[in-house]
Amino acid sequence: MTIEEAQKAVDDYIKNIGVRYFSELTNLAVLNEEVGELSRHFARKFGDQSYKAGEDPEGFKKEMGDILFVLICLANQTGVSLTEELIKTLEKNSTRDKDRHKNNEKLR
């Protein structure tokens, strides 16, 4: 599925099942909540914390899906093509940071 197809699939879901989009501000709050849940998983799986009984060590994958879904909702609501914006970001980073990371001693 392309990003464009994902944006259409989310829009179709919202229109057919979700009734309507939450407000942009609500979706931003939900996005932050989902990022927090991903952070909790990372602290347990890759950091120093441990999972509690019953928690799923692979749950971070679901959180990434949730984050992507809400980000796509926000893009759809605000008329943003995530494909176009990702291309712009890749071009910007490739130009601006062309040698930056290669010259970073911390990355060697």
pLDDT the model gives residue 6: 98
Query: Which residue ranges of the chain lie beneath pLDDT 70?
Result: none
User: What is the amino acid identity at position 108?
Assistant: R
- How many angstroms separate the Cα of 49 from the Cα of each of 20, 40, 44, 80? 38, 9, 4, 37
Name which of 14, 15, 13, 30 is nearest 70 in CA terms.
Answer: 30
Q: Which domains does the chain have, with CATH numbers?
A: 3-81 (1.10.287.1080)
Summarised one tens digit per residue, pLDDT across range 22-33 is: 999 999 999 999
Sign of CA dihedral 60, 64, 69, 70: positive
- List, for residues 89-98, the tens digit of each pLDDT value: 999 999 988 8
